Structure 1
Amino acid sequence: MRLTNKKIETLRVSIANVLNNVLEWQIEEIKFISNGVNNAVFLIREKNLGMLAIRTPWRTEGNLNDINLSGMISLKKEATICEHCHKYILVPKVHKLYLGEEINFLVSDFVSGDAKEIPSYDVGKLTSKIHKIPLDDLSIIDQKERTLTNIISHRITERVHSLSKLINNSIIIPSSEEMEAILNSSQTENSLLHLDVRPPNLIRENGIIKGIIDWDNAYIGNPIMELMRISESKELIEEEFLKGYDDVDIIENTDEVIQSIYRLDTALMLSILFTSYINDSVKRDYYFKRVRFLSQEINNTL
């Protein structure tokens, strides 16, 4: 589904109405600046707070109750994690989480940037800082009491089923219980994981990182998951990234089968992405091969 101009205007009017009439802010300007798969972003200027960014869910197809719940969870997750991380790393300061009957949105500082490339070394440094953030009483709303190992092992099973239907071919993997037991054998301490560390989610200016956004995929778990996702996604220069990351020894100290299971989760996701949502046959075929290879590697250990 495409975000239409009509929908943009409906969102803009709804946001302006809440800000002016419900929250009693003094809005001098509001304009649409971008959108992703699920969220639209508006820029506002408030008389006392200055320039702010507003993120609001825009998709309307499917079950409306499910979409509203999903959008609400996404905003709560972003707000909770940003507020927790604000004193440790550069994230936009949260000003207001508004959850209403007609619209939900999150208001944060607007951080300007440009499209200049960021050194992968610096991204490694930032990722290392994220993994060192004290967890304290941080709770991830869509993780609840589940472990990352439980989430990933079941997600892999679901993704294998989805991909097998798409390509009309079976993919053999261990049971989710077997994979979870393997992942649970790791002795690495849990960390906060962003799990979508890539250029589009990094606000940068003149090659310097000014902030990281979009915590939709974030969980608490083994940092090896993050490192394998970054390696498998190939959106950064891995060698340079690892030079910036402070604790690369955890890779050497982690069994290869654990690394392969976390890699498989990402390879499956990208296979489905380039099959169903983005028409890129080269990347699709590459990740098909990665899924086959990783599945075989995992099966060979059992």
Structure 2
Amino acid sequence: MMEGLAELLAARGVTRLEPLGSGLEFSVFRGRMGGAEVAVRVAGRRCDSNANDPLVDTRALLVQERRLARFVLARGLPAAAPLDLILSSSPDVPDILVSAYVPDDGSPLDPYRLGGVLARLHALAPPGPPLVAAEGMPAARLLVRRVLRRWAEVGRLRQDWPAAPPGSVLAAAAAALGEGSLLHLDVRRPNVRCRAGEVSALLDWSNALRGDPVLEFGRLGEYARLPDNGLDLDALRAGYGEPPPDGDAPALLCRLDAALMLALVFLSEAPDAARGDAAADRVLELYERLRPRALG
């Protein structure tokens, strides 16, 4: 594929490709276009599937990436500027998004400054059509559906997994969640470009939702438990200014959603026996904390 990809991009003025990394749905390359460095995001296939998400429309994600990057840049927030979106008419040719390459000096991320960036992001309502990860429903309803679906998926991968929580318990916890903010929902060191600790760009808007900031902080809280995500939750909350509460039923539901996602990552998508077992145990711990608060 690399040879055909290079030819396709050369016709659009992108040359000197070198791989930067790859994930479940996309591979990313660095290249040059008109004398400047660019990042090239390439879909592996038109539709994909994994343990967390049974149907992934990679074209819709690339279109969304361009739309949200343009939106936040226009409002003074850091992102990688989209330059060219190539949507293929052939099943043998991938869809491609070309964006400005944002360098990173490898310095530790300043969590206080990151908190300020997220506060500004959450003050925005997302533009245009519904976001891909929403699956056509409000975030509170999505959360209940997603927790139940992913809980069942963990049960297929881990022996002696308990029955799923009652939907009524999850719905009671979700009832207080708002719907107005643009959420990134994959904020961790690999998706943040920075220089001298300051955020230069938030990358990868595939998980973005319109919802309550408590959902973002649920994800951040679980990410911060993993050192390689490079997050200091206390400092981030301080930089945010007025973060949502942590420890009530809505916050625990959002942490449960994040913990289930991580459990499936380590049990299936990027198998790691030790991390998978720890993540599954964390799911059960969070549900035991959530249940009395949701019912109380």
TM-score (ref. length: structure 1) = 0.83
Alignment partner of 1:251 out of 245, 250, 271 = 245
Question: Deviation at 1:207?
Answer: 2.1
Query: In 2, Cα distance between the equivalents of 1:103 and 1:13?
Result: 12
Alignment partner of 2:216 out of 226, 238, 254 = 226
Aligned residue type for 1:50: A
Query: In 1, Cα distance between the equivalents of 2:72 and 2:134?
Result: 18
Tell me which residue corresponds to 1:23: none
Tell me which residue corresponds to 2:202: 212
Query: In 1, Cα distance between the equivalents of 2:155 and 2:185?
Result: 25
Residues 173 and 299 in structure 1, CA contact (< 8 A), matched pair in contact too: no
Aligned residue type for 2:199: I
- Ranges in structure 2 where 5+ consecutive residues have no aligned partner: none
Residues 204 and 211 in structure 1, CA contact (< 8 A), matched pair in contact too: yes
**1:34 maps onto 2:20 in alignment:** yes
Tell me which residue corresponds to 2:41: 55
Residues 116 and 207 in structure 1, CA contact (< 8 A), matched pair in contact too: yes
Query: In 2, Cα distance between the equivalents of 1:147 and 1:140?
Result: 10
Residues 90 and 211 in structure 1, CA contact (< 8 A), matched pair in contact too: yes
Alignment partner of 1:112 out of 95, 103, 107 = 103
Aligned residue type for 1:288: A
SS at match of 2:105: coil
Tell me which residue corresponds to 1:98: 86
1:58-73 correspondence to structure 2 within 5 Å: 58-59=44-45, 70-73=57-60
**1:166 maps onto 2:160 in alignment:** no
Larger radius of gyration: 1
Residues 195 and 229 in structure 1, CA contact (< 8 A), matched pair in contact too: yes
Root-mean-square deviation over aligned CA pairs:
2.7
Query: In 2, Cα distance between the equivalents of 1:35 and 1:291?
Result: 29
**1:81 maps onto 2:68 in alignment:** yes
Aligned residue type for 1:143: A
The 4+ residue runs of structure 1 with deviation greater than 6 A are: 60-63
Alignment partner of 2:147 out of 156, 177, 200 = 156
Query: In 2, Cα distance between the equivalents of 1:124 and 1:91?
Result: 16
Question: Deviation at 1:288?
Answer: 2.0
- Ranges in structure 1 where 5+ consecutive residues have no aligned partner: 1-6, 20-25
Aligned residue type for 1:30: R
SS at match of 2:3: helix
Query: In 1, Cα distance between the equivalents of 2:88 and 2:172?
Result: 42
Query: In 2, Cα distance between the equivalents of 1:33 and 1:155?
Result: 33
How many residues are matched?
281
Residues 42 and 53 in structure 1, CA contact (< 8 A), matched pair in contact too: yes
Query: In 1, Cα distance between the equivalents of 2:9 and 2:42?
Result: 9
Query: In 2, Cα distance between the equivalents of 1:208 and 1:142?
Result: 28
Closer, same or farther in 2 for the Cα pair 1:284/1:145, shift >3 Å? closer
Alignment partner of 2:4 out of 2, 10, 16 = 10
SS at match of 2:245: helix
Tell me which residue corresponds to 1:194: 184
Aligned residue type for 2:190: P
Tell me which residue corresponds to 1:240: 235
Query: In 2, Cα distance between the equivalents of 1:40 and 1:232?
Result: 25
1:203-229, Cα deviation, whole Å (9 max, x unpaired): 112322211110011110011010011
Residues 84 and 138 in structure 1, CA contact (< 8 A), matched pair in contact too: no
SS at match of 1:251: coil
Query: In 2, Cα distance between the equivalents of 1:127 and 1:174?
Result: 31
Residues 260 and 297 in structure 1, CA contact (< 8 A), matched pair in contact too: yes
Residues 173 and 298 in structure 1, CA contact (< 8 A), matched pair in contact too: no
Tell me which residue corresponds to 1:4: none
Closer, same or farther in 2 for the Cα pair 1:68/1:16, shift >3 Å? farther
Question: Deviation at 1:43?
Answer: 2.8
Identity value in percent: 23
Aligned residue type for 1:57: A
SS at match of 2:103: coil
Residues 148 and 167 in structure 2, CA contact (< 8 A), matched pair in contact too: yes
